[in-house]
Amino acid sequence: MVSGTFTGFPARLDLPAEVVLLARTLEDAGYETWCVGGALRDALLDAGDNDVDLATAATPEVVRRLFRHTIPVGIEHGTVGVLDANRRMHEVTTFRRDVETNGRHAVVSFGVSLDEDLARRDFTINAIAYHPLRHEWRDPFQGGEDLGRKRIRAVGAASQRFREDYLRILRAIRFAARFEFTIDPDTWAAATEAVAGLASLSAERVRDEWFKGLTTARSVRRLGGLWWRVGAAPIWVPELIDGTDLPEVALEDRDPVVLTALLCLDPVAVLRRLKCSNQDIARAAAMMAGPREPVSTGVRAVRHWLADVAGASADLLLLARLRAGLVPGWAIIVSEVRARGEPVARKDLAIGGDDLVRIGIPPGPGLGVLLDRLLLLVLDDPALNQRDVLLQRAKDLA
């Protein structure tokens, strides 16, 4: 995730053999093929993996004919997923140009050159190509220079790039926060002028960009600040804490749901607006319901806290650590309680509802109430969590 420094185009890239084989197959069939996309940018910054995409003169129909195992991941935009011998998918996309755009989607046509294909891309650092067989670089928009200057700059006219797809505004912010790059003044001005267009995007696309930003930003404080400065936060995440009040977060602690709870006054509202999964929304609601932490660092208090927060304990532990910038003192007690297997939920009791029915306690809501009372007893004293002891206590309480 963390980038290095661009020192120039290397004589050759160390690409996966599967990528080279795909390119060779296409080239041998007479179709010009280049490596493109973010993986190239990341490789040049020593910040990525080997998930390299290919751009080719071959149409989707030809690609599907040349390779046995393919997936039509985006045929209308020229993209075919090709599975290699290890069943790993590589995206192969036909050279294309935009015919019509509306700020959200594009209609494309094929039969264009590599340079025309690169010209439709968002930023210069993403408009670089590498030939995997001839080891040639193609950089018609000086993306290498911008990598060296640590700068995000739109390809061509920035205002046009953003009108083609308003999500590019959020992508510019994400790349700037991830790589600690500046945003070119003309590109920034065009982004702020076009920001109202973000309202026309689908919640799902904005959610994906929000989550990607949270999980990759070198500084989440800067990411949040840019969302506010460009004008994106009032449209999609008005609950986002503004500017310098945002905490910093280590890269290894990048759970986007927990981070949304950390950075936003009402994370449930944010996740609902972004049409997140019910599971993610429920996690945020549980964190908000709390309590945030035990009333003390005593083992009894920790057991009661674990019972109160149920499945939210891991999220709340991470949230507490992120808020304080250090591991809370009661975290070790949580680990010790878990290591000893001490009961903190109904399911941990030595008896269940069926056992209570067998001793004459009638089914119904009262059964659950009784189990909760027994749980309170063992939270105070785990030694009481024995079948015979709990059955006798149940008889006494019934």
- Per-residue pLDDT band for 313 (boundaries 50, 70, 90) equals very high
Largest CA distance in the chain: 85
Of the ranges 76-85, 158-167, 186-195, 350-359, which one carries the lowest mean pLDDT score? 76-85
Closest by alpha carbon to 195, among 151, 153, 226?
A: 226
Residue 107: pLDDT over 70: no
Query: What pLDDT digit, counting tens, does each position of 201-254 carry?
Result: 999 999 999 999 999 999 898 999 999 999 999 999 999 997 666 667 777 788
Distance, in Å, from the CA atom of 102 to the CA atom of 185, rounded to the nearest integer, reads 24
Query: What pLDDT digit, counting tens, does each position of 72-86 carry?
Result: 988 888 899 999 888
Strand order in the sheet with 70-74: 70-74, 79-83, 89-94, 53-56, 33-36, 129-130, 137-138
Of the ranges 27-36, 111-120, 202-211, 223-232, which one carries the lowest mean pLDDT score? 111-120
pLDDT number for residue 320: 93
103 φ, ψ (degrees, to nearest 5): 90, -10
When pLDDT is averaged across residues 27-40 and rounded to a whole number, the result is 94
- Per-residue pLDDT band for 1 (boundaries 50, 70, 90) equals very low
Domain 1-149 has CATH 3.30.2290.10: no
Query: What pLDDT digit, counting tens, does each position of 256-293 carry?
Result: 999 999 999 999 999 999 999 999 999 999 999 989 99
Residue 103: pLDDT over 70: no
When pLDDT is averaged across residues 164-171 and rounded to a whole number, the result is 96
When pLDDT is averaged across residues 124-138 and rounded to a whole number, the result is 96
Residue 106: pLDDT over 70: no
109 or 197, higher pLDDT: 197
Burial of 77 (0-12, 13-18, 19+ CB in 10 A): middle
- Per-residue pLDDT band for 50 (boundaries 50, 70, 90) equals low
Average of per-residue pLDDT values in the chain? 92
Distance in angstroms between the alpha carbons of the first and the last residue of the chain? 58
DSSP characters over 85-105: TTS-EEEEEE-EEEEEE-BS-
Residue 100: pLDDT over 60: no
Structure-block tokens of residue 339: 């290591």
Q: What is the assigned CATH class of domain 156-289?
A: mainly alpha
Q: Scanning the structure block, which residue is given the tokens 């390779």?
A: 67
Give, as one character, the DSSP assignment of residue 300. H
Q: Do the beta carbons of residue 120 and residue 78 sit within 8 Å?
A: no
Query: What pLDDT digit, counting tens, does each position of 171-204 carry?
Result: 999 999 999 999 999 999 999 999 999 999 999 9
